[in-house]
Amino acid sequence: MMSSDLSSSHDAWASTPPKVTRPNPCCEPPNLLGECMFLGFVAILGITCVLLCKLILWLFHVEIDFGQPAWLQWLQRPEKQDVNTWLNGQKSIINFSFAGVSKPQDTLHLRAAANENIALAFNITNSLTTASTSTHKNFLKMASGTINRPGRDWIKLFEKATSTLTAELPRDTSQPLHLAEATRITCLKVVLIDNFQISSDSLPRDSLVIITDEINNQWLKAKSSSEKPVISSLLIHHLTALQRRDPRCLCWPFDQLKPEEILSMIMPQYETLWRVVMVTYILAFHLYPSPTLPSRISSVPECLGTNSLEEREALKLAKEGLRLTPSNKRIYRHTPSSSFKIKADLELMHRHPSIWGPTALEFSPSRFDNLSPLQTEAYLPYSLRPHRCPAFGGFGDRMVTCLVVAMGRVLDTKAGKVFNTEPTKRAGVVDTGRDGLEGWRYQRG
Ligand code: HEM
Which of 189-198, 273-282, 374-383 is predicted least confidently?
Answer: 189-198
Q: What is the Å distance from ligand 1's center to 382 Cα?
A: 6
Ligand 1 proximity of 90 Cβ (cutoff 6 Å): no
Rounded to the nearest whole angstrom, what is the distance from the C-alpha of residue 166 to the centroid of ligand 1? Answer: 29
Band (pLDDT 50/70/90 cuts) for residue 201 is: confident
Asked if residues 234 and 210 have their Cβ atoms less than 8 Å apart, the reply is yes
pLDDT at 339 (0 to 100) = 75
Q: Per this entry, what is the length of the chain?
A: 445
pLDDT, tens only, 366-375: 999 999 999 9
Query: Is the shortest distance between the CB of 140 and ligand 1 below 6 Å?
Result: yes
179: number of Cβ within 10 Å: 23
b/e for 113-128, b at 16 or more Cβ within 10 A? bbbbbbbbbbbbbbbb
Other beta carbons within 10 angstroms of residue 156's beta carbon come to: 13
Average pLDDT for 186-215: 93
pLDDT at 306 over 80: yes
> Quick one: pLDDT band at residue 391, thresholds 50, 70, 90?
very high
- Which of 33-42, 390-399, 400-409 has the lowest average pLDDT? 33-42
More confident residue, 375 or 11: 375
Q: Tell whether ligand 1 has an atom less than 6 A from the beta carbon of residue 268.
A: yes
383 lines ligand 1 (CB under 6 A): yes
Please, what is the average pLDDT of the chain? 86
pLDDT digits (tens, 9 = 90+) for 420-443: 998 765 555 677 777 789 999 999
Ligand 1 centre and the CA of 167: distance in Å? 30
User: Which residue, judged by its Cα, is nearest atom 13 of ligand 1?
Assistant: 383
Residues 274, 367: contact at Cβ < 8 Å?
no
- What are φ and ψ of residue 331, in 5° steps? -110, 120
> Are residues 100 and 335 in contact, defined by beta-carbon separation less than 8 angstroms?
no
Under 8 Å between Cβ of 191 and 212: no
pLDDT by residue (tens digit) across 41-74?
A: 888 887 787 677 655 544 443 433 444 556 566 6
Please indicate whether residue 396, judged by its CB atom, sits closer than 6 Å to ligand 1: yes
Amino acid letter, residue 13: W
Is the shortest distance between the CB of 387 and ligand 1 below 6 Å?
yes
Q: Is 441 helix (H, G, I), strand (E, B) or coil?
A: strand
- Mutation choice for ligand 1 from 148, 149, 272, 275, CB with most ligand atoms inside 8 A: 272
Residue among 190, 270, 389 whose CB has most ligand 1 atoms within 8 A, to mutate: 389
Angle at 150 between CA 145 and CA 154, to 5 degrees: 105
Q: Region 31-39: what's the mean pLDDT?
A: 79
Q: Rounded to whole angstroms, how far apart are CA atoms 53 and 379? A: 34
* pLDDT at position 272 over 80: yes
Which ligand 1 atom is the nearest neighbour of the CA of 139?
35
What does the radius of gyration of the chain's CA atoms come to, in whole angstroms?
Answer: 31
* pLDDT at 377 (0 to 100): 97
CA nearest neighbour of 186 among 168, 207, 213, 202? 168
Q: Is 96 in the pocket of ligand 1 (CB under 6 A)?
A: no
pLDDT in tens, 156-188: 999 999 999 999 999 999 999 999 999 999 999
Q: Are 214 and 220 in contact (CB under 8 A)?
A: no
Residue 205 has pLDDT above 60, yes or no: yes
The pLDDT score that the predictor gives to residue 435 is 76
Is the Cβ atom of 400 under 6 angstroms away from ligand 1? yes
Q: Which domains does the chain have, with CATH numbers?
A: 64-444 (1.10.630.10)
Ligand 1 atom 2: the closest Cα is on which residue? 396
pLDDT on residue 197? 86
Residue 232, pLDDT score: 96
Asked whether the predicted pLDDT for residue 7 surpasses 80, the reply is no
The confidence score (pLDDT) of residue 10 equals: 39
Whether the CB of 93 sits within 6 Å of ligand 1: no
Give yes or no for residue 346 CB within 6 A of ligand 1. Answer: no
3-state secondary structure of 281: helix
Phi first, then psi, for residue 69 (nearest 5°) are -65, 150
**Measured distance CA(312)–CA(303) in Å, rounded:** 9
Mean pLDDT, residues 284-296 taken together: 96
Q: What percent of the chain has pLDDT over 90?
A: 69
Q: pLDDT tens, 225-268? A: 678 899 999 999 999 988 877 655 554 567 788 999 999 999 99
Q: Is 354 in the pocket of ligand 1 (CB under 6 A)?
A: no
**How much distance in Å is there from the Cα of 229 to the middle of ligand 1?**
23
Cβ of 236 less than 6 Å from ligand 1: no
CA 4 – CA 70 distance, rounded (Å) = 81
**pLDDT value, residue 33:** 78
Give the integer Cα–Cα distance in Å for 203 and 244: 11
Q: How far is the CA of 268 from the centre of ligand 1 (A)?
A: 6
Strand (E) or helix (H) holding 435:
none
Q: Which residue puts its alpha carbon closest to atom 7 of ligand 1?
A: 382
Query: The whole model's pTM is what?
Result: 0.83
**Ligand 1: distance of its center to the CA of 391 in Å?**
6
**Higher-scoring residue by pLDDT: 240, 338:** 240
The mean-pLDDT minimum among 14-23, 141-150, 282-291, 298-307 falls in 14-23
Distance of alpha carbon 77 from alpha carbon 71, whole angstroms: 10
pLDDT at 46: 78
pLDDT at residue 11 in the model: 38
- pLDDT (mean) for 266-281: 97
Ligand 1 centroid to residue 68 C-alpha, Å: 23
The 3-class secondary structure across 182-213, one letter per residue, is: HHHHHHHHHHHHHHHCCCHHHCCHHHHHHHHH
Percent of the chain topping pLDDT 70: 83
381 CB under 6 A from ligand 1? Answer: yes
